[in-house]
Amino acid sequence: MTHEQLFVKMALDSWKSYLDRTDELFKKFTDEEMMMEIAPGRNRNIYLLGHLTAVHDRMLPLFGLGERLHPELDKPFLTEADKSVTEIPSVKDLRSYWSEVNQRVNAAFEKVTPGEWFEKHASVSAEDFSKEPHRNKLNVLINRTNHLAYHYGQVKLAERK
Amino acid sequence: MTHEQLFVKMALDSWKSYLDRTDELFKKFTDEEMMMEIAPGRNRNIYLLGHLTAVHDRMLPLFGLGERLHPELDKPFLTEADKSVTEIPSVKDLRSYWSEVNQRVNAAFEKVTPGEWFEKHASVSAEDFSKEPHRNKLNVLINRTNHLAYHYGQVKLAERK
């Protein structure tokens, strides 16, 4: 295994590990618990489920891996704060979108070659990329894993003991 | 820049970014706030400060970069749960250990070459490493960054609005 293949594996393993842990944690919560706040006055569990689904879904066009599945999630879970949009999908629907998006994203990731992970993503211009070659797809994946770990830590506080 | 150099830069940038954010957040808290729980019945801020300091300190011997600075932090902040050890360092001392450890770790990281990041760490045998070459120092750094992001997300909930 070359170092290039190795670090793509390391980044993907790390992503999948936090995705599995977060998925298991959300599954532990009842639909009623999903409507509760993580800590007093903070985001609800449902908001973080929708937020993570939207952020993961956005990787598909960002990496040139296809159209998004649920662009309608951006307004209630990304651009607006929790509790500011009154009409949001049900917990049941969101759980289904979460699984659907992660499955699609992971299936698409399997087809990306190690070399392609080092290519530029859609939000950086060719000119900027030539000066800043670290702004590649793999770097976004590393940052998305940290973002996932950040929110997983928060949802973990809401777990029953 | 080779892909190997790029990947090491990406992993180190990600580590430093979460370290800076966490450091800024801890600095925002008064010493009194550091003694408060992140959420009702959960760890106190001081515990997470000590916990992260201990975990970061342990990377020094793990990566063959020297002796630990504060092994005495393991008992109160790593092996035991919060509030179970009564004699713990003051917030003032812990803030100083946190800075000291991170500075030492980052200074040591600067001398590690890209190739050395792919070498085995001290907790894996040569035999296991030959079968699982992803168990290298860089992989530990990626996991420590996720661990940091996980707890940063929790401490973020305790921030005053």
pLDDT tens readout for residues B6-27: 999 999 999 999 999 999 999 9
Measured in residues, chain A has a length of 161
Which chain A residues have a beta carbon less than 8 Å from that of B138?
Answer: 7, 10
The span from the CA of B78 to the CA of B50, in Å, is: 8
Which chain A residues have a beta carbon less than 8 Å from that of B134?
Answer: 6, 9-10, 13
Percent of chain B whose pLDDT exceeds 70? 99
- Out of B14, B42, B150, the one facing A152 most closely (by C-beta) is B150
- Residue B55 makes CB contacts below 8 A (sequence gap 6+) with B78, B144, B147
Residue type, A18: Y
Which chain A residues have a beta carbon less than 8 Å from that of B143?
Answer: 14
Could you tell me the two tokens for A83? 């509790």
Query: Which is more confidently placed, A85 or A160?
Result: A85
Which chain A residues have a beta carbon less than 8 Å from that of B154?
Answer: 153-154, 156-157
The average pLDDT across B120-149 equals 96
Asked whether the predicted pLDDT for residue A54 surpasses 80, the reply is yes
- Out of A4, A13, A146, the one facing B149 most closely (by C-beta) is A146
- Is there a contact between A138 and B40 if contact means CB atoms under 8 Å apart? no
The span from the CA of A10 to the CA of A29, in Å, is: 30
Asked whether the predicted pLDDT for residue A1 surpasses 90, the reply is no
Complex confidence, ipTM: 0.96
Model confidence at B1, pLDDT cuts 50, 70, 90, reads: confident
Distances (CA, A) of B133 to A9, A19, B60, B116: 11, 23, 20, 13
Helix (H) or strand (E) holding A34, with range, is helix A31-34
Asked whether the predicted pLDDT for residue A21 surpasses 80, the reply is yes
Distances (CA, A) of B138 to B8, B20, B68, B107: 7, 19, 19, 16
- Is there a contact between B154 and A151 if contact means CB atoms under 8 Å apart? no
- Is there a contact between A138 and B11 if contact means CB atoms under 8 Å apart? no
pTM of the model: 0.97
Residue of A nearest to B144 (CA): A146
